[in-house]
Every structure is written in C-alpha cells, then in structure tokens.
Structure 1
Amino acid sequence: MSYIGFHTAEETGYVSGAERAHLDGLVQDTAAGHRRRVFGEDLPGRPSTLRRAVNWPAETLASDRFDQRTDTYIAVEPFRLRAVLPSGPTGENLFDVDLNTVIAHGAEAEQLAARISGQCEVHAFIEGKDRAWFADLVDAATALGVFRRDMSRYPQRAAYPHGWDKVAALARATDTGPIVMSYSVAEWFPNQDIAVWPESLPDPDTDPDGADAADEAWNALTDRERWERAVTGLRRKAETAWLLRISPDNLSQAAFGRETPLTWDALAEAWKGRA
C-alpha cells in the first residue's frame, strides 16, 4: 500500500496512498468544473473552442461525446496533452493547467491539496519557520473535509506518526529544519540524487565502478549526514525551482509550467470569440 511521507531530521510521518489518490481526484474534478464553465458545452453545430485549445488525439475530436472523452483523456494522459493558444502550440501540459486552475481559484485548503498532489513526488518542502503555518493549514483542510481524517491513516506504520492529525503535530514539533515530502512509489528522501544537485551521479551502465563507489560513500554516511546533504541539495534546487518550497508567500501563486503558466480560464479567454 502506497503512502506520502513527511520527513524531518528526527522522524517521518505517513499518510495513506489512498489520500494521495483522493487529492489527485479532487484537483482533477475541481479543474474540470472550471473547464466546463469557461468553455461551455460542446454541441452539434456549436463546437466548443476547447477543441482547438488542446492537442487532442484524433479519436477524441471525432467522438460524438467530446466532453466526456476530454475528462477521461485528461485523467489518463495529463502530461502528454499540451495547451494550444491561438498563436500556436505551447509546452504547457494539462497537469500543470489543472494545478494552476485550482490554485488560482481555490481556497487555501484546495491550494494546499494541489501542491501536495503535484509535488509530493519531487520532495516539496516547508522550511522550519513555516512549519506551524503548514500545520494550521493541514488542520483546517482536515476540519473542512478536504483532507480525510479517517482515510488518511497508514496502519502499516502504526508506530510512527500517521494520518493528517499526527502529521500536523509532527510539523509543529519544532521550527528547526524543514519537513520534506516524498511518495513511496517514487524516490525516498533523503537520497543521493538530490544530495548532489545540480550535479549527477555516475551512470551505472557507463561507469559501474563510479556508481558503486558513490553508493558505498553514501551508505557510509550517518543518517544525520545523509539528511543534511540532501537538504542542502534540495535548497540549492529550490533557488531556481522556487515553487519547490511551499510557503505563505507562494501558496496561491499559479505558476506551474515551462514558460507560460496557464489556467483553463486563461486558455478560454485567449480563444474567446474565435469560432
């Protein structure tokens, strides 16, 4: 059973992977509601401009149930699909468009849900001075039902903090050092890759001896040394990937994307009046 990990230097808290799936679905459903509202229904004789705003596959465009097919295709292939502006195709995928839409129009609990959904696998983190703020947001989201109290526990780690209530308590335990996320089917934190950022580790296929030496050096470190090196690398990465750090200053910034962050509302406005 999968889980989201919330790591500190002292301990790791756990939330069930079922809650990750819930947050993913919440983001998709909320963004879909905005998409339907701003683009309108696709009707015979009155096609929606949504047909032109995404590089849909031919079978979706040919379907007589276009609106239903779009929901399914976005759920299955959000990274493959790209937003298209009247000026031409963009590099912006629909995963980021969904995240930006929820962040731009949602309440704080929904914004936090989007950030955790979109960034737990890449080790988004909250610095020590913001940990109490993060804990308050987690408590508020749980009280509102955006985060699910009964469905968030991870019984396989019953001896550790597990569930949103315990994660909030873990975040409040100290304001020294960050709390860092990971997802169990992706890479654990701390790890070698982030510790050496922006450098890369030796490729085991082309430099097996170098890769073995790197593994041995990493394994020889103490837990504290691995944590400190990984946090240093994570902070280096966040100097350019600034959304990696979740903070009061950027929670509501809809800025995910390669070049031109987009929401469904912005896409619809760009195509407004274009048949």
Structure 2
Amino acid sequence: MSSVYFTSPSSTAELKGSERAWLGGLVNDIATGALSLSTFGHAEQMLGFVDPAHYLYLDPSEPKRPGWQAAWASSYETSFRVDMGRAPLVQFQGRSLSTSTLALNTALILGNDPVKLGARIHAQCELNCWVDGPDRAWMAGIIDHGLEIGVYRRGAEEDPQGWEQVAELLRSRGDEPVVLYDSIGSEGFPSAYLGDWMPAWPEGVPQTHEGWELLTEDQRRERDERSDAWYDLSAQEQWDISLPALRAKTGHGLQIRPDNWRRFHFGHGLSVLDLVAHDAEDRIAAKLGVPA
C-alpha cells in the first residue's frame, strides 16, 4: 500500500503505507462486523440486494441446503471487501451500490473521531484532501487521541509509522493548509494538472491513453513542453497555481474540517446499517431519492 504524504508550503511528513493499509482494513472490518450475516437473518436480507448476475446470487424459488448461510456469508464478506465481480454485489432497483462507499459510511457512523479521520485519509488522500491552517491543531488532536487509544499504531521506535511526525507538522504553524497525497495513485501536490498550468484538454477527447493518441502532434508537443516547464517553477509558484484550484473543489468534500465533521458522508450516503434495517427498502429509496 502506498505511503501518504502530508505536505504544506513549509514542510512534509510521511505516513507509512502499512498504516494506510491498516486503516483500510479497519474500515472493512467495521462494515462486515455490522453486517452480522450469521445472526438476525441478515444473510437472507442481504441476499435480496445481490444482483442476479453476481455469482453469489441464489434463486429464491430454489431450495437451499441446510446451513447454507455460513458458507455463503463467508464468500459474501470476501466479495464485499473487494467487490470485483462482473456484476455488482449490492444493488437496489438495478442501481449498483458501491461496497467501498457503504463501508466508508459505516465507519463514519459507528467510528469515533480517529476512525472517521482514518476513513477520510484512506479514501481521499489520492484526491488531495486537505485541512486549512486554522484547523490543523484540531486534526493533530484527533491523531493524539487515536494514538492514545490504539486506533493508530506508533510502530517500532526505529521504524515509526509516522503519526507523531504528522501531528508535529500540523501543530508547527496555523497559517498554511496541509494537503494529502499518496505515493502511487495521485499526481502528488502541487501538480501541473491541478490548476491552469496545462493547456485545456480538447473537448470530447477522453483523458486516457487512447485519448492521448487522438491529440495532434502539436497538441502533444505543447503538453509535453508545459509538463517539463513545471519543474522550472519554484515551489511557491507551484503552490500558487495548484492551491486555488484545490480550494475551488468545494463540492467534492475534500476539505477536512470540524464544522461539517458529523454531517459529511461519501457518495450515496448509505451504510450497512441501512441495508440490514427492518425498513431497508424505504431507507435506501429515501437516500437515493427514488420510489420505494
């Protein structure tokens, strides 16, 4: 798992990739625990939300083997964690419901502040989630609490996970934002691709390898030259280009802040608790804005 970097115009701290993997596992453990497939009839209920094209679907008109729930529940929990089937594991009225989003929202609902922050870091570091200067000490306090109660791991003295260094960075000043990025899945921060440094991508051309091949030779040359020129800019110039663009992403929920801490949710807003509720269909329909 890739490392997570907390960076400001003044300094950077690294959180080990093994700790990010721990956070992702914690999110999934909370969600699968809340499913309680071996009790309360939840296996039968969750079966009703499995897409008929998924390999875990069981035809309700066909008899099931005695004790089928145990083996099915084990396979379901594995699929819930990876959700790699050709058909969605969880669907409602033909609409796919991402299990990763369900797991993240479950962690936000059931978790304490360190769990909530862990879920945000795990899910949003690749998207450059960030904390503003005045809120840095607040985030550092959550990290302190997470270390105290064991949600976050310190690591060995000679090989720390990095939480203490992150908290120290956050407390070092309160007049600069701190932006997160990961070592593999993101462009880093600042980035030539966040802001107006790169030429606008041609309308109607997908931003993929195939789309790159559709660009003219002049368009490709211009983009290559601008990308190379990015590294001739000073660090401050790069921040001046990328930070306003990041701040402008107000609808993406990337700013981690205390004033919407308890209201924030991912995507559709549904959690495992909605799926196992006695009025599950009504709850799901209400959050998706569709008839029950």
**Structures share fold, TM-score greater than 0.5:** yes
What stretches of structure 2 of length at least 5 have no aligned partner?
Answer: 59-63, 283-292
> Kindly tell me: are residues 198 and 75 of structure 1, through their superposed partners in 2, closer, same or farther at Cα, counting changes over 3 Å?
farther
**Contact persistence 2:38–2:73 (CA under 8 A):** no
One-letter identity of the residue aligned with 2:251: T
- The 5-angstrom pairing of residues 54-73 of structure 1 reads 54-55=50-51, 58-62=54-58, 64=68, 65-73=71-79
Cα deviation 1:104-151 (Å, max 9, x = unaligned): 121111111111111111111001010000000011111111010116
Aligned partner of 2:80 in structure 1 is: 74
Query: How far off its partner does 1:39 sit?
Result: 7.6
The count of corresponding residues between Structure 1 and Structure 2 is 257
| Alignment partners' CA distance in 2, 1:54 and 1:127 | 41
The question of 1:5 aligning with 2:5 is answered yes
Query: How far off its partner does 1:78 sit?
Result: 6.7
* 3-state SS in 2 of match to 1:253: coil
One-letter identity of the residue aligned with 1:271: A
Aligned partner of 1:271 in structure 2 is: 280
Cα deviation 1:5-35 (Å, max 9, x = unaligned): 0011111100110001000000000111112
- The 5-angstrom pairing of residues 95-114 of structure 1 reads 95-114=100-119
**Contact persistence 1:16–1:151 (CA under 8 A):** no
Query: How far off its partner does 1:249 sit?
Result: 1.8
- The 5-angstrom pairing of residues 1-275 of structure 1 reads 2-36=2-36, 40-41=40-41, 48-55=44-51, 58-62=54-58, 64=68, 65-77=71-83, 81=88, 83-85=90-92, 88-150=93-155, 163-187=162-186, 188-196=188-196, 200-201=200-201, 204-205=212-213, 206=215, 207-237=219-249, 239-241=250-252, 243-257=253-267, 260-269=268-277, 270-271=279-280
* 3-state SS in 2 of match to 1:6: strand
| Alignment partners' CA distance in 2, 1:231 and 1:209 | 26
**Contact persistence 2:136–2:170 (CA under 8 A):** yes
| Alignment partners' CA distance in 1, 2:228 and 2:115 | 42
| Alignment partners' CA distance in 1, 2:223 and 2:41 | 54
| Alignment partners' CA distance in 2, 1:66 and 1:197 | 52
One-letter identity of the residue aligned with 1:217: A
Higher relative contact order (CA 8 A, sep 6+): 1
Cα deviation 1:198-245 (Å, max 9, x = unaligned): 9855764313112113213322211111122111111111x221x200
One-letter identity of the residue aligned with 1:69: S
| Alignment partners' CA distance in 2, 1:41 and 1:195 | 51
| Alignment partners' CA distance in 2, 1:6 and 1:190 | 12
Query: How far off its partner does 1:190 sit?
Result: 1.3
* 3-state SS in 1 of match to 2:95: strand
**Contact persistence 2:134–2:174 (CA under 8 A):** yes
* Mean Cα deviation higher: 197-206 or 164-173: 197-206
| Alignment partners' CA distance in 2, 1:103 and 1:152 | 31
Cα deviation 1:75-124 (Å, max 9, x = unaligned): 22279736433xx1334311111111110121111111111111111111
Aligned-residue identity in percent: 28
**Contact persistence 2:198–2:227 (CA under 8 A):** no
Aligned CA RMSD, in angstroms, stands at 3.0
What stretches of structure 1 of length at least 5 have no aligned partner?
Answer: 156-161
